[in-house]
Amino acid sequence: MDISPLQRVRYAYQPKLPPILKENIADVVPTLGEKTSSATDQDAIKSLFPHTYGLPRVSFSKGKSEKIAQKRNVGVILSGGQAPGGHNVISGLFDALKAANEQNTLYGFKGGPSGILEDSYKIIDSDYLQAYRNTGGFDIIGSGRTKLETEAQFEVCAQVCKKHEITALVIIGGDDSNTNAAVLAEYFLAKGHGIQAIGCPKTIDGDLKNEFIEVSFGFDTATKTYSELIGNIERDANSAKKYWHFIKLMGRSASHIALECALETQPNICLVSEEVEARKQSLVSIVDSIAQAVSKRADNGNNFGVVLIPEGLVEFIPEIKALIEEINHLLAKEEAAFNAIFDTTGRISFVESHLSKASATAFSVLPNEIKAQLLMDRDPHGNVQVSRIETDKLLAEMVEVRLKQMKKDGSYKGKFSWMTHFFGYEGRCAFPTNFDADYCYSLGYNAFMLIGAGLSGYLSSVTNLSQISDAWQAGGIPITMMMNMEVRHGEKKPVIKKALVELEGEPFKYFASHRDKWAIETCFTYPGAVQYFGPAEVCDRTTVTLALEQGN
Ligand code: FBP
């Protein structure tokens, strides 16, 4: 068997498009809206983007397009972490490009943004693409985390494009990659290179969203995949009635994934990093609140339960956040001295001896394994690699210690055995759900429509997503419109604002109004596996987050 039966059947799936994109491609024209302005910091962003600031929003309507059939070569780049549906963005882009002109060529730059810098590419043709349609992963051309951010890099991009007569680049990435797509678009215009840059909103983390981009692709599939696994664990917990499961869920910074999984599975506890930060909860108080819930359940004879933990939690606990910032600063300043120490114990002592009193105290309560994990290599953005920090184990161990104290003072009488899990990589390359297959294909197809309309510095946008695809709308959002100024590595930079969980938003409010009951009673729900064939209410269902946000 070369391919699985599901793979074979999914190759044949024809993703759904918004109605306007189902029209003959030459019968669709852009409609330009009012001029726009950035989210905040208008003057600063206007001065940094003189050619792309204030562009109008774009939608599509019926009409005769003169330009779309013009022959063109287009380049595409996958940037950052995998997200289910990336292959379909490329499929949609390819199908639109070929529908416009059979002579058009799609260059896929290999291994992420470094592919264009090294002129490493694959020409994507129909036969090659067929094996990737409606499948998960980014293996069609690979991805990477190299950042395109310097003028020297932009110039290399321009020269590589010119060499292959590429007149448009599509960058499929998260908030940072799309910020860089906007800077690249501005550079190409300023230098008169005649190359367009269009972005597509990707990340399972769900933090690239705003009033114009309803969700980033991959969030739907990843959360459904994790929710299936959590539901299975809940059922096991409720059957065996002997373990507390501590489950860490991916999502570098924002807690959208953990919150969506909680809405899907109704666990006993779900921590939300944004709330921890807002309430300035210390590690000890988080541990205590979990221990109290464990104790109350034990009073009812339930020595089992499920706790969901967002991956980025440690960076939102005030004293740990300050500690990480100090360590980041120290490792950057004392890099040579630190790297000259080869054993973990020595490295820990070195850091301990340089910390402020408050951070040294925060560091001291952590188990040695966690201390070592906080000292591991940073990612290319200078961030701690939170997926490598075992927050699940940290909390389970600290809750165990707290319960032992409570047992001594007689306030806890139960039994506590724990298991830990980390769901991250399990969901990033899953077969896209019907929603992600359709949404991604539409985003890619629509990206070509923006190119055909001669636009640059736009993010492909498909909206009205909690409705059936026949009600979806396609268009483009100027990337500068989503920007604000933020301090990054000590410098003020224009960036797309990262969307964290809003404590006043409907998804969190729904969760907050139910969690006390979920904590004490056993209210688990079991979403089961993603379904591709069957009733629409099962197969085409979007996330609970999106449904609540859109009032459905
Ligand atoms: P993107 O923001 O690039 O989409 O990646 C998100 C993510 O999956 C996070 O959830 C996770 O923390 C990180 O990537 C893991 O990175 P890596 O793939 O480098 O291990």
Point out which residues pair with 228 in neighbouring strands. none
Amino acid (one-letter) located at 141: I
Do 219-428+505-549 and 26-218+432-496 fall under one CATH topology?
yes
29 burial (CB, 10 Å; 0-12 / 13-18 / 19+) is: middle
Domain ranges for the chain: 26-218+432-496, 219-428+505-549
How many whole angstroms from 96 Cα to the centroid of ligand 1? Answer: 29
Residue 80 Cβ contacting ligand 1 at under 6 Å = yes
Q: Which atom from ligand 1 is nearest to the alpha carbon of 177?
A: 3
Specify which residues 78 forms β-bridges with: 172
**Contact present, 109 and 146 (Cβ < 8 Å):** no
Give the least confident one: 17-31, 432-446, 476-490, 508-522. Answer: 476-490
> Shortest CA distance to 429 belongs to which of 133, 77, 41, 83?
83
Residue whose pair of structure tokens reads 């780049």 in the numeric block: 77
Distance (Å) of CA 133 to CA 15, 137, 477: 10, 11, 26
Q: How many CB atoms lie within 10 A of CB 537?
A: 7
How confident is residue 331, by pLDDT bands cut at 50, 70 and 90? confident
Predicted pLDDT of residue 399: 96
Atom nearest to 379 CA in ligand 1:
19
- Is 204 a pocket residue for ligand 1 (Cβ < 6 Å)? yes
Task: Confirm or reject: Cβ of 496 under 6 Å from ligand 1.
Answer: no
Residue with tokens 């321009």: 158
Q: What is the mean pLDDT of the chain?
A: 95
Q: Is 99 helix (H, G, I), strand (E, B) or coil?
A: helix
How far apart are the CA of 433 and the centre of ligand 1, in A?
20
- In angstroms, what is the span from residue 413 Cα to ligand 1's centroid? 41
Q: Tell which atom from ligand 1 comes closest to the C-alpha of 218.
A: 4
Ligand 1 closest atom vs CA 250: 10
Predicted confidence band of residue 1 (pLDDT cuts 50, 70, 90) = low
Q: What DSSP character marks residue 433? A: P
Report the distance separating Cα 100 and Cα 445, nearest Å.
11
> Token digits for 74?
């287009």
CATH topology of domain 26-218+432-496: Rossmann fold (3.40.50)
Q: What is the average per-residue pLDDT within 142-164?
A: 95
Residue nearest to atom 18 of ligand 1 (CA): 81
Q: How far is the CA of 84 from the centre of ligand 1 (A)?
A: 13
DSSP secondary structure letter of residue 384: B
Q: Where does residue 211 rank: exposed (0-12), middle (13-18), buried (19+ CB within 10 A)?
A: exposed
Give the pLDDT confidence of 179-209 residue by residue, as tens digits. Answer: 999 999 999 999 999 999 999 999 999 999 9
Q: Are the beta carbons of 238 and 304 closer than 8 angstroms?
A: yes
Q: Please report where in the chains the tokens 């032992």 appear, as a residue.
A: 404
* Structure token digits, residue 422: 């980390």
How far apart are alpha carbons 205 and 20 in whole angstroms?
29
- pLDDT for position 171: 97
Residues that are catalytic? 205
φ, ψ (nearest 5 deg) of residue 297: -65, -35
- What is the CB neighbour count within 10 angstroms for residue 172? 32
Q: Considering only CA atoms, which residue is closest to atom 10 of ligand 1?
A: 251
| 252 CA distance to ligand 1 middle (Å) | 6
Whether the CB of 311 sits within 6 Å of ligand 1: yes
With the most atoms of ligand 1 within 8 angstroms of its CB, the residue from 256, 273, 387, 440 to mutate is 387
Nearest CA to ligand 1 atom 16: 81
Substitution site in 177, 252, 373 for ligand 1 pocket (most atoms within 8 Å of beta carbon):
252
More confident residue, 486 or 255: 255
Atom 12 of ligand 1 has which residue's CA nearest to it?
252
Reported residue count of the chain is: 552
Q: How far is the CA of 81 from the centre of ligand 1 (A)?
A: 4
Using most ligand atoms within 8 A of CB, pick from 145, 175, 180, 205 the residue to mutate for ligand 1. Answer: 205
User: Over 80: is that where the pLDDT of 53 sits?
Assistant: yes
Percentage of the chain lying above the pLDDT 90 cut: 88
pLDDT band of residue 488 (cuts 50, 70, 90) is: confident
Q: Whose CA is closest to 530, among 440, 431, 442, 441?
A: 431
Tell me how many degrees the CA angle 86-156-454 measures, rounded to the nearest 5.
60
252 lines ligand 1 (CB under 6 A): yes
Q: What is the pLDDT of residue 211?
A: 86
**DSSP bridge partners of 419:** 245
- In this predicted structure, what is the pLDDT of residue 173? 96
Digit-coded pLDDT (tens) for 494-551: 999 899 999 999 999 999 999 999 999 999 999 999 999 999 999 999 999 999 999 8
Query: Could you give the CA distance from residue 305 to residue 181 in angstroms, rounded to a whole number?
Result: 44
Give the pLDDT band of residue 380 (cuts 50, 70, 90).
Answer: low
Cα 389 to ligand 1 centroid, rounded to whole Å: 13
Quote the pLDDT of residue 275. 98
Overall average pLDDT of the 97-120 stretch:
97
Q: What is the pLDDT of residue 469?
A: 95
- Answer for the pair 29, 63: CB distance below 8 angstroms, yes or no: yes
pLDDT confidence of residue 379:
72
Among residues of the chain, what percentage have pLDDT more than 70?
99
Q: Which fold has domain 219-428+505-549?
A: Rossmann fold (3.40.50)
- Whose Cα sits closest to atom 19 in ligand 1? 81
Residue 268 corresponds to which tokens in the numbers above?
């006993």
